[in-house]
Structure 1
Amino acid sequence: MPVVVALHTTAPAVGRGLGWALVGALFCSVIPNGLIWWGVRRGRLSDHHIRVREQRRTPLVYGLVSVLVGLALLVGFHAPQPVIAMVVVMFGLGLAVTVVNLVWKLSIHAAVAAGSAAVLIIVLGPNLLLAAPAVALVGWSRVQLRDHTIGQVIAGAVVGLVVAVPTFLLLR
């Protein structure tokens, strides 16, 4: 999502778009996922999906801090508004799933898939609605892997949409 939003926003300046995309991807994905992999390697987390709900809080909080650092850099260096809005959406999604996961195992994969799809539809137009089955496939895979119930997947997708759509529309 950071690559698509940044490149679309800065077109035809591909280099500039890739720079903003790199900042977004680094702080919203690479660093948080790196922290999870590090926790797995050290034996502190069950696996990279963090299937044990009680283990999710610390990596989710560190992920939120990483996103906030990235957001501060984007704002400080005057990134385009849609790129900043996208990172605010990512923070909002992270905050929502972190709060819910304190008491119930919500599907983060479904939340991110639905929220990302919604932002991409807003940015690129209604033709991207054809990608909606990808969100359903993500949810289906989480149930098939027995990582989540159907209710946890549906709740994740709803949280993703409820956070992403108004936030991005308000801030873009």
Structure 2
Amino acid sequence: MHDIINSPGHRPTLRVARIVTEVFAPALLAAAMPIVIGVTSDLPISTGFGWALVGALFCSVIPNTLIWWGVHRGRLTDHHIRVRQQRRTPLIYGLLSVLVGLALMIGLGAPRPVTAMIVVMFALGLAVTAANLVWKLSIHAAVTAGSAAVLVIEFGPALLVSALVVALVGWSRVRLRDHTVAQVIAGTVVGLLVAVPTFLLLK
């Protein structure tokens, strides 16, 4: 079976799966989504973008710097943390980072749409952290699905096309054998159930 999966005929799809996994990594979406919301809201672009950068710093840059440091020190297998048992500490540190960012943004009067997006990311992080204590739920799927849901809420039904990206990301995680189909589906469902009510309530 291993030889079949890694045969020349299967290598192109493996490369595509790796690219999709990296392009739509949770870290990148956690940085991109606050910026998308910030620059497309009714705020002046400079204001929305500035606050979005603050959100991206605490949602993505700081948590993933800690992850890369863990990889460098040999404490984590890789930046996607394929081993479930290694995920707890980085996820908790990530949640703490987002909480600090949220406290700073709320205390300084950050715009509501950007703050709402950061709360969504925190809620997603909290959900996947709880799930990963007992099961390797797909964080890629959860964050991609949650991000797609926010895009649909913010920009309308035309963005339902983003569901194709959610499916593509799910396929990539299964193709790389990092997750089962069940783990991807569960991640997608969690992402939708968390992101939709949270963003609708706060935006």
Match of 2:46 among 5, 12, 15: 15
Counterpart check, 1:86 vs 2:110: no
Partner SS, residue 41 of structure 2: helix
Count how many residue pairs are aligned between Structure 1 and Structure 2: 171
Counterpart check, 1:28 vs 2:56: no
Partner of 1:71: 102
Structure 1 moving runs of 4+ over 2 Å: none
Counterpart check, 1:116 vs 2:158: no
Counterpart check, 1:168 vs 2:164: no
Question: Once structures 1 and 2 are overlaid, which stretch shifts more, 116-125 or 145-154?
Answer: 116-125
Partner of 2:136: 105
- Distance in 2 (alpha carbons) for counterparts of 1:8 and 1:71: 20
Runs (5+) with no aligned partner, structure 1: none
The alpha carbon displacement at 1:144 in A equals 0.4
Q: Alignment RMSD, CA only? A: 0.8
Partner SS, residue 200 of structure 2: helix
Percent identical among aligned pairs is 74
**Which structure: larger Rg?**
2
User: TM-score, normalized by length of structure 2?
Assistant: 0.82
Partner SS, residue 115 of structure 1: helix
Counterpart check, 1:3 vs 2:35: yes
Residue type of the partner of 2:40? Answer: H
Partner SS, residue 118 of structure 1: helix
2:48–2:114 contact (8 Å) kept in structure 1: no
- Distance in 2 (alpha carbons) for counterparts of 1:156 and 1:128: 20
2:70–2:76 contact (8 Å) kept in structure 1: yes
The alpha carbon displacement at 1:21 in A equals 1.0
